[in-house]
Amino acid sequence: MLTMRGISKSFSGVQVLDRVDFEVTPCEVHALLGANGAGKSTLIKVLGGLYPDAEGQTLLDERRIDLSTPKTALLSGIGIVHQEFDLVPEMTVAENIYLGFENLHLADGRPLWQRISRRKLIEAAGALLNEYKLGIEPDAVVRKLPAGAQQLTQIARVIALGSRVMIFDEPTARLGLRDRERLFDVFATLRASGKLIVFVTHYLDEVMAVADRASVMRDGRMMVTTQTSATTVGELSRTMVGSDVHGPAKRKQPTLGATALSVKGLSGPTFEDVSFDIAGGEIVGIVGHLGSGRHEVTRSIIGQIPARGYISAHGDAGRTRIGFVPENRRAEGIFAELPVGTNIAIGFLRERSILSLLPLRAMETTGADVVGRLQIKTAGTEQKIGQLSGGNQQKAVFGREMVSNPSLYVIEAPTVGVDVKAAVELHNEIFKLAERGSAILLATDDLDEVMLMADRILVMLRGRIVKELDTRRTTRQDLVSAMGAG
């Protein structure tokens, strides 16, 4: 049993954890819930040995464990799949899985290898990936994998560690439907073997489907722990945010402007002959399972992946600009050590600087305006953005793109790792952008999100667009079927 008692932690006088008690028993999946900024990530970091100055005590099987460093936490049996990737992009999947413990012994006491052997490395990783049916090649270079496959690589790494306690921080946020099912099969296998599983997520339907118990945090305190069979999604949501949350309704048929994006015959290493248009004021979703080519198509549109074919973006009165919101905000969306205000203002520095001098007053004003408009929870625009919760980081990335008023947005997984209240706020902002005439290409694995937000959905399978769906004349089941069968 894992027991945390009286855990408290503060930053610069701000109480982030306030005497938190948390308990996980063997052979259970325990969901840890809360809105962005509730303290979940801080509690996990305490378990991971990142905050040795935290007050309170942590016991595993009634023995106090050493959480003074990440290494001692790992040796004490704590394994964590962090929300933000900690992989080495230029290494292979196998190298990332075993990085740092290549010479640890297998369960039977024999060393995996005396000297690092790539062949044995690939074999060991391949066996692990096959055992848990994770669907990744062990010799694939991580940099070339979409975010979902990278997430599965991190999950495989924690499994390989053989930790007694396994903490999964938003593991499904970047996973498609099939990969989520794979992960839940992994949960079942680990639970049956006696592991203690902590599942952090904002997807309450997943909590009800796979978790045995749920604990809800709010404002740094533990509010309730309950059996999932004894509660509802509505009750959990109200406890998380302190009130009922009502999402936006699907918008009516939009009034469309001129074509803002035209893609013709686009082909690349993993996709072929992709063609579609998006009009100003239109939201078009693009979906597809891992390996469908969806990720590569969106990245080719922003110029990150070379491709053959025709791409044309059109703006009104010369306003031709593409705003990009990446799914991996930590690696691609923010400068973690820079202030919130600077991260927001970076979006317009080139056009507003004079003789290469930074427009400091405009930076301060714009940063403060965006923080207020998007209700970003921060101590001020000078706070480092890396210290904010994931949802508030996401809002800041949105704000940065919005200040330059682009004619086209390419948005990937806008609500990854975002609580239900912040997700509603971001959805409303996307609707407002479309109403002001911007075209939006929305790439997401969240099928409920794309059904709500998009006017049309492009379904990709094996590198091609196999179907186009009008969301007002289709169902979620139609979409699932199209993704699997074309």
Q: Which tens digit of pLDDT belongs to each residue from 321-377?
A: 789 999 888 778 888 899 898 898 887 766 666 655 666 777 788 888 889 888 888
Amino acid at 200: V
Kindly state the tokens that stand for 22.
């948390």
Distance CA 40, CA 234 (A): 20
Domain 2-241, CATH homologous superfamily name and number: P-loop containing nucleotide triphosphate hydrolases (3.40.50.300)
CA angle at 264 for the pair 260 and 270, rounded to the nearest 5°: 115
What's the pLDDT at 108? 41
What's the pLDDT at 289? 79
DSSP codes joined into one string, 32-52 = EEE-TTSSHHHHHHHHTTS-T
Q: Under CATH, what is the fold of the domain 259-482?
A: Rossmann fold (3.40.50)
Task: Please state, as a whole number, how many other Cβ atoms lie within 10 Å of the Cβ of residue 82.
Answer: 18
Q: pLDDT tens digit string along 239-277?
A: 887 766 666 788 888 889 899 999 999 999 889 999 999
Distance CA 483, CA 347 (A): 35
Kindly state the tokens that stand for 428.
């409303």
pTM, full prediction: 0.64
Kindly state the tokens that stand for 415.
């609500």
- Where are the domain boundaries for CATH 3.40.50.300 in the chain? 2-241, 259-482
Adjacency order of strands within the sheet including 78-81: 78-81, 165-169, 196-200, 28-34, 213-218, 221-227
Q: pLDDT tens digit string along 31-66?
A: 999 877 788 888 999 999 999 999 999 999 989 999
Distance CA 144, CA 226 (A): 41
What's the pLDDT at 486? 42
Summary mean pLDDT of the chain: 86
Give the residues of the chain that fall short of pLDDT 50: 105-110, 112-113, 317-318, 486
What's the pLDDT at 92? 92
What is the helix, strand, coil percentage profile of the chain, to 5? 40, 25, 35
Give the DSSP H/E element, type plus range, for residue 227.
strand 221-227
